[in-house]
Structure 1
Protein backbone atom coordinates (compact mmCIF):
# COMPACT_ATOMS: atom_id res chain seq x y z
CA UNK A 1 0.00 0.00 0.00
CA UNK A 2 2.61 2.56 -1.02
CA UNK A 3 1.12 5.98 -1.70
CA UNK A 4 3.45 8.63 -2.98
CA UNK A 5 2.76 11.96 -1.32
CA UNK A 6 5.34 14.71 -1.29
CA UNK A 7 5.72 15.90 2.30
CA UNK A 8 5.72 19.47 1.03
CA UNK A 9 2.11 18.88 -0.03
CA UNK A 10 1.20 17.91 3.53
CA UNK A 11 2.83 21.10 4.74
CA UNK A 12 0.88 22.99 2.06
CA UNK A 13 -2.37 21.50 3.41
CA UNK A 14 -1.73 23.20 6.74
CA UNK A 15 -0.60 26.48 5.12
CA UNK A 16 -3.74 26.57 2.93
CA UNK A 17 -5.90 25.84 5.96
CA UNK A 18 -4.35 28.68 7.97
CA UNK A 19 -4.35 31.13 5.06
CA UNK A 20 -8.05 30.56 4.42
CA UNK A 21 -8.79 31.75 7.94
CA UNK A 22 -9.49 29.67 10.96
CA UNK A 23 -11.78 29.53 13.92
CA UNK A 24 -11.31 27.37 16.99
CA UNK A 25 -13.94 24.97 15.62
CA UNK A 26 -12.31 24.74 12.19
CA UNK A 27 -8.99 23.90 13.86
CA UNK A 28 -10.70 21.11 15.82
CA UNK A 29 -12.34 19.85 12.62
CA UNK A 30 -9.14 19.93 10.51
CA UNK A 31 -8.14 16.60 8.97
CA UNK A 32 -5.27 15.75 6.66
CA UNK A 33 -6.19 14.55 3.17
CA UNK A 34 -6.78 10.86 2.55
CA UNK A 35 -3.56 10.73 0.51
CA UNK A 36 -1.56 12.15 3.41
CA UNK A 37 -3.17 9.74 5.89
CA UNK A 38 -2.49 6.80 3.56
CA UNK A 39 1.17 7.80 3.23
CA UNK A 40 1.56 8.12 6.99
CA UNK A 41 -0.07 4.73 7.50
CA UNK A 42 2.30 3.22 4.92
CA UNK A 43 5.36 4.71 6.58
CA UNK A 44 4.33 3.50 10.04
CA UNK A 45 3.55 0.03 8.70
CA UNK A 46 6.90 -0.25 6.94
CA UNK A 47 8.73 1.05 10.01
CA UNK A 48 7.17 -1.72 12.09
CA UNK A 49 7.53 -4.56 9.59
CA UNK A 50 10.32 -4.16 7.07
CA UNK A 51 12.27 -1.05 7.97
CA UNK A 52 13.18 1.67 5.53
CA UNK A 53 15.75 4.22 4.40
CA UNK A 54 16.91 7.33 6.19
CA UNK A 55 14.79 9.41 3.81
CA UNK A 56 11.72 7.47 4.84
CA UNK A 57 12.59 8.01 8.50
CA UNK A 58 12.93 11.75 7.92
CA UNK A 59 9.59 11.78 6.11
CA UNK A 60 7.93 9.91 8.98
CA UNK A 61 9.47 12.31 11.51
CA UNK A 62 8.20 15.25 9.45
CA UNK A 63 4.67 13.84 9.31
CA UNK A 64 4.69 13.14 13.04
CA UNK A 65 5.90 16.67 13.81
CA UNK A 66 3.10 18.19 11.72
CA UNK A 67 0.54 15.86 13.27
CA UNK A 68 1.74 16.77 16.77
CA UNK A 69 1.56 20.48 15.93
CA UNK A 70 -2.06 20.09 14.84
CA UNK A 71 -2.85 18.05 17.95
CA UNK A 72 -1.56 20.90 20.12
CA UNK A 73 -3.50 23.47 18.08
CA UNK A 74 -6.68 21.42 18.50
CA UNK A 75 -6.16 21.22 22.27
CA UNK A 76 -5.70 25.00 22.41
CA UNK A 77 -8.81 25.53 20.27
CA UNK A 78 -10.84 23.39 22.68
CA UNK A 79 -9.64 25.61 25.53
CA UNK A 80 -10.80 28.70 23.62
CA UNK A 81 -14.22 27.16 23.00
CA UNK A 82 -14.69 26.05 26.60
CA UNK A 83 -13.78 29.55 27.83
CA UNK A 84 -16.55 31.17 25.76
Structure 2
Protein backbone atom coordinates (compact mmCIF):
# COMPACT_ATOMS: atom_id res chain seq x y z
CA UNK A 1 0.00 0.00 0.00
CA UNK A 2 1.25 3.50 -0.83
CA UNK A 3 1.40 6.27 1.75
CA UNK A 4 0.37 9.76 0.68
CA UNK A 5 0.52 13.09 2.46
CA UNK A 6 -2.27 15.66 2.15
CA UNK A 7 -2.82 19.13 3.58
CA UNK A 8 -6.32 19.20 5.05
CA UNK A 9 -8.11 21.36 7.64
CA UNK A 10 -7.52 20.31 11.25
CA UNK A 11 -11.12 19.19 11.78
CA UNK A 12 -11.02 16.97 8.70
CA UNK A 13 -7.67 15.54 9.83
CA UNK A 14 -9.27 14.50 13.14
CA UNK A 15 -12.10 12.77 11.29
CA UNK A 16 -9.67 11.03 8.95
CA UNK A 17 -7.54 9.81 11.85
CA UNK A 18 -10.59 8.54 13.71
CA UNK A 19 -11.68 6.58 10.62
CA UNK A 20 -8.32 5.62 9.14
CA UNK A 21 -9.38 2.04 8.38
CA UNK A 22 -12.26 3.25 6.19
CA UNK A 23 -10.35 5.98 4.35
CA UNK A 24 -9.13 3.92 1.36
CA UNK A 25 -12.75 2.98 0.59
CA UNK A 26 -14.06 6.52 1.18
CA UNK A 27 -11.36 8.00 -1.05
CA UNK A 28 -12.08 5.42 -3.74
CA UNK A 29 -15.77 6.37 -3.71
CA UNK A 30 -14.96 10.07 -3.88
CA UNK A 31 -12.50 9.58 -6.74
CA UNK A 32 -14.99 7.45 -8.65
CA UNK A 33 -17.52 10.25 -8.28
CA UNK A 34 -15.02 12.78 -9.63
CA UNK A 35 -14.03 10.44 -12.45
CA UNK A 36 -17.57 10.45 -13.80
CA UNK A 37 -17.37 14.18 -14.54
CA UNK A 38 -17.19 15.02 -18.21
CA UNK A 39 -13.83 16.35 -19.36
CA UNK A 40 -15.66 19.31 -20.91
CA UNK A 41 -17.02 20.48 -17.55
CA UNK A 42 -15.15 21.78 -14.59
CA UNK A 43 -15.11 19.74 -11.43
CA UNK A 44 -17.08 21.01 -8.44
CA UNK A 45 -15.13 23.29 -6.19
CA UNK A 46 -13.99 21.37 -3.13
CA UNK A 47 -15.28 24.27 -1.05
CA UNK A 48 -18.81 23.92 -2.43
CA UNK A 49 -21.18 23.66 0.54
CA UNK A 50 -22.77 20.49 -0.86
CA UNK A 51 -19.43 18.82 -1.56
CA UNK A 52 -18.15 19.82 1.90
CA UNK A 53 -21.34 18.47 3.48
CA UNK A 54 -20.91 15.10 1.77
CA UNK A 55 -17.17 14.87 2.48
CA UNK A 56 -17.76 15.66 6.16
CA UNK A 57 -20.44 12.97 6.32
CA UNK A 58 -18.28 10.33 4.63
CA UNK A 59 -15.22 11.27 6.70
CA UNK A 60 -17.24 10.70 9.88
CA UNK A 61 -17.20 6.96 9.17
CA UNK A 62 -20.95 6.47 8.85
CA UNK A 63 -22.52 3.12 9.61
CA UNK A 64 -24.79 1.47 7.02
CA UNK A 65 -27.78 2.78 8.99
CA UNK A 66 -26.33 6.31 8.96
CA UNK A 67 -25.91 6.07 5.19
CA UNK A 68 -29.52 4.97 4.72
CA UNK A 69 -30.74 7.90 6.85
CA UNK A 70 -28.52 10.52 5.19
CA UNK A 71 -30.22 13.47 3.54
CA UNK A 72 -28.66 16.68 2.32
CA UNK A 73 -29.35 19.80 4.35
CA UNK A 74 -32.47 21.87 3.78
CA UNK A 75 -30.27 24.58 2.26
CA UNK A 76 -28.81 22.13 -0.27
CA UNK A 77 -32.28 20.81 -1.11
CA UNK A 78 -33.59 24.36 -1.59
CA UNK A 79 -30.69 25.16 -3.91
CA UNK A 80 -31.37 22.02 -5.96
CA UNK A 81 -35.02 23.00 -6.34
CA UNK A 82 -33.96 26.49 -7.44
CA UNK A 83 -31.59 25.07 -10.05
CA UNK A 84 -34.27 22.71 -11.36
CA UNK A 85 -36.75 25.58 -11.59
CA UNK A 86 -34.28 27.75 -13.51
CA UNK A 87 -33.55 24.82 -15.81
CA UNK A 88 -37.26 24.36 -16.56
CA UNK A 89 -37.91 28.05 -17.19
CA UNK A 90 -34.73 29.10 -18.99
CA UNK A 91 -31.15 28.13 -19.63
CA UNK A 92 -28.76 27.58 -16.77
CA UNK A 93 -25.50 29.49 -16.76
CA UNK A 94 -22.37 27.34 -17.15
CA UNK A 95 -21.71 27.59 -13.40
CA UNK A 96 -25.30 26.63 -12.58
CA UNK A 97 -25.12 23.69 -15.00
CA UNK A 98 -21.91 22.49 -13.31
CA UNK A 99 -23.56 22.87 -9.91
CA UNK A 100 -26.61 20.88 -11.04
CA UNK A 101 -24.33 18.17 -12.45
CA UNK A 102 -22.61 18.02 -9.06
CA UNK A 103 -25.98 17.35 -7.42
CA UNK A 104 -26.64 14.60 -9.97
CA UNK A 105 -23.25 12.99 -9.32
CA UNK A 106 -23.73 13.09 -5.57
CA UNK A 107 -27.23 11.64 -5.94
CA UNK A 108 -25.78 8.80 -8.02
CA UNK A 109 -23.08 8.18 -5.41
CA UNK A 110 -25.69 7.92 -2.66
CA UNK A 111 -27.87 5.56 -4.69
CA UNK A 112 -24.84 3.24 -4.84
CA UNK A 113 -23.90 3.79 -1.18
CA UNK A 114 -27.45 3.14 0.02
CA UNK A 115 -27.73 -0.02 -2.10
CA UNK A 116 -24.49 -1.28 -0.57
CA UNK A 117 -25.68 -0.33 2.93
CA UNK A 118 -28.93 -2.26 2.43
CA UNK A 119 -26.96 -5.31 1.28
CA UNK A 120 -24.67 -5.03 4.30
CA UNK A 121 -27.60 -4.78 6.70
CA UNK A 122 -29.42 -7.68 5.02
CA UNK A 123 -26.32 -9.86 5.34
CA UNK A 124 -26.10 -9.08 9.05
CA UNK A 125 -29.58 -10.46 9.76
**Common fold: TM-score over 0.5:** yes
Q: Which has the higher contact order (CA 8 A, sep 6+)?
A: 1
SS at match of 1:39: helix
CA deviation after TM superposition for structure 1 residue 9, in Å: 1.1
Write out the 4+ residue segments of structure 1 that deviate beyond 3 Å after TM superposition.
Answer: none
Give the TM-score, by structure 2 length.
0.59
Q: Which residue of 1 aligns with 2:53?
A: 13
Runs of 5+ consecutive residues of structure 1 not aligned to the other structure: 1-5
Corresponding position: 1:66 with 2:106: yes
Corresponding position: 1:26 with 2:84: no
Q: Which residue of 2 aligns with 1:42?
A: 82
**How many residues in Structure 1 have an aligned counterpart in Structure 2?**
79
Query: Bigger radius of gyration, 1 or 2?
Result: 2
Q: Distance in 2 between matches of 1:14 and 1:55?
A: 20
C-alpha RMSD of matched pairs (Å) = 1.5
Structure richer in helix, relative to its length: 1
Runs of 5+ consecutive residues of structure 2 not aligned to the other structure: 1-44
